[in-house]
């Protein structure tokens, strides 16, 4: 019983050791850099693995060499190299370290080149997107609905022609047309004339006997 009861303990210990080793293998440099004490061997190793294209990590690597941390030989040419590269990537701490050591401080040319490359990549991506848009242009816009035509009400008017009042007929002027000459027989005088009124004509005869005259019409 004693032999078999001790076996699980050994297996459990082995599992713990394997888990710890696996966790250590899976630890990323960023995690080590954030969780380890500054300028410890593991911290310096993590900074060196992240040093390319990083001004702050290049300075940290140079500082590890200047301090002579385990695994980082204290050689002037090494830490000056890392300080110079860090200053070229825009690290102010690396530039201050070079100035402290009496070394010339370079411009941040590598940082400027990296920015130019990033800007060029963005410009290329924008141009490619514009070309794709011109090759495959979007469809025509959907026509907007026609505006409603306002209803115009036209008043209905009844056409009434102007009534023309007939011009009253004026009576035709009377005309006297003598039809016979005057005859005198002693003291008897007879005179005949023809009068027409509105197209109706009649003969008017005036007879005078001894100064007494009578008029008749036919």
pLDDT digit string (tens) for 99-141? 999 999 999 999 999 999 999 999 999 988 888 877 666 667 7
Backbone φ and ψ of 203, nearest 5°: -100, 125
Tokens of 88: 């070229």
Q: Across the strands, what pairs with 178?
A: 193
**Cβ(178)–Cβ(158) below 8 Å:** no
Distance CA 144, CA 166 (A): 63
Of residues 41 and 130, the one with the higher pLDDT is 41
Of residues 85 and 198, the one with the higher pLDDT is 85
Distance CA 205, CA 189 (A): 10
DSSP letter at 40 equals S
Q: Across the strands, what pairs with 177?
A: 194
Percent of the chain with pLDDT over 70: 64
Residue 50, pLDDT > 60, answer yes
Residues, the chain, total? Answer: 218
Could you tell me where the DSSP H helices lie in the chain? 2-26, 29-35, 41-49, 55-67, 76-88, 92-100, 109-135
pLDDT per residue as tens digits for the range 179-214: 544 444 556 777 788 777 777 788 878 888 777 788
User: What does pTM read for this prediction?
Assistant: 0.48
Could you tell me the pLDDT band of residue 94, with boundaries at 50, 70 and 90?
A: very high
| Number of continuous H segments (helices) and E segments (strands) in the chain | 7, 5
Percent of the chain with pLDDT over 90: 44
Tokens of 196: 């027409």
Of residues 9 and 61, the one with the higher pLDDT is 61
Q: Beta-carbon neighbour count of residue 2 at 10 Å? A: 5
pLDDT given for residue 145 in this prediction? 63
Q: How many CA atoms lie within 13 A of 84 on its CB side?
A: 10
Distance CA 36, CA 60 (A): 14
pLDDT given for residue 17 in this prediction? 58
Span of 80-84, 121-125, 172-176 with lowest mean pLDDT: 172-176
Q: Whole-number mean pLDDT of the chain?
A: 78
Of residues 120 and 175, the one with the higher pLDDT is 120
Beta pairing, strands 212-217 & 188-197: unpaired
């Amino acid at each position: 019983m004693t032999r078999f009861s001790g076996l699980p303990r050994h297996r459990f210990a082995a599992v713990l050791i394997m888990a710890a080793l696996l966790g250590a293998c899976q630890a990323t440099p960023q995690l080590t850099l954030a969780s380890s004490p500054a300028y410890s061997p593991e911290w310096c190793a993590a900074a060196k693995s992240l040093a390319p294209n990083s001004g702050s990590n290049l300075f940290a690597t140079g500082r590890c060499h200047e301090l002579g941390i385990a695994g980082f030989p204290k050689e002037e040419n090494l830490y000056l190299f890392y300080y110079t590269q860090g200053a070229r990537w825009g690290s102010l701490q690396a530039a201050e370290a070079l100035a402290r050591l009496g070394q010339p401080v370079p411009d941040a040319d590598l940082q400027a080149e990296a920015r130019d490359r990033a800007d060029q990549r963005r410009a290329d991506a924008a141009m490619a997107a514009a070309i794709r848009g011109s090759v495959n242009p979007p469809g025509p816009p959907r026509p907007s609905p026609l505006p409603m035509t306002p209803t115009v009400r036209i008043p209905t008017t009844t056409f009434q022609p102007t009534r023309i009042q007939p011009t009253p007929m004026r009576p035709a002027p009377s005309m006297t047309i003598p039809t016979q000459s005057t005859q005198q027989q002693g003291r008897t005088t007879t005179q005949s004339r023809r009068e027409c009124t509105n197209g109706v004509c009649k003969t008017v005869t005036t007879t005078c006997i001894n100064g007494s005259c009578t008029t008749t019409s036919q």
